[in-house]
Amino acid sequence: MELDETAEQCAQREFQEETNQKIDNLTLFTILSGPDYYYEYPNQDKVYNVTIVFSGILHNNNIKTNSESTTLQWFSLDKLPPLSPPTQKMFDKHQKNIKEIAQNLF
């Protein structure tokens, strides 16, 4: 998050930086924090992640790689590739709600 930036602006900027696409109509899904989101990286860095999760509308799915992303792919929720441990924990906790949101979008 940059100085003077809202969480929504940060999410939109990061999404655009990594996919070259704009996303809007953001809706707060959840905020994840606390001991459940502690993670120790392979290099021994230790963090307590704070993750703000939004759902949003993507008007064009023509995502493109750039200097911040080398590969981008779409996956159905039941065929996700291996996720990082913190992301897997978030997905496991909210899988039902994520699927409901996804179904309502299509």
Give the residue numbers spanning the domain of 79. Answer: 7-105
- If we measure between CA atoms, which residue out of 23, 26, 9, 29 comes closest to residue 101? 29
Instruction: Extract long-range pairs of 32-37: CB within 8 Å, 24+ residues apart.
Output: 32/90, 32/93, 36/89, 36/93, 37/86, 37/89, 37/90
Number of domains in the chain: 1
Residue with tokens 């590969």: 71
- 1 within domain boundaries: no
- Whole-prediction pTM value? 0.74
pLDDT in tens, 93-102: 887 777 777 6
- 99 within domain boundaries: yes
pLDDT in tens, 22-73: 898 998 988 989 998 898 989 999 999 898 989 888 877 777 787 777 888 8
CATH number at residue 101: 3.90.79.10
Which amino acid is located at 93 in the chain?
K
- 61 within domain boundaries: yes
**CA 15 remoteness from chain centre:** 9
- 2 within domain boundaries: no
- 54 within domain boundaries: yes
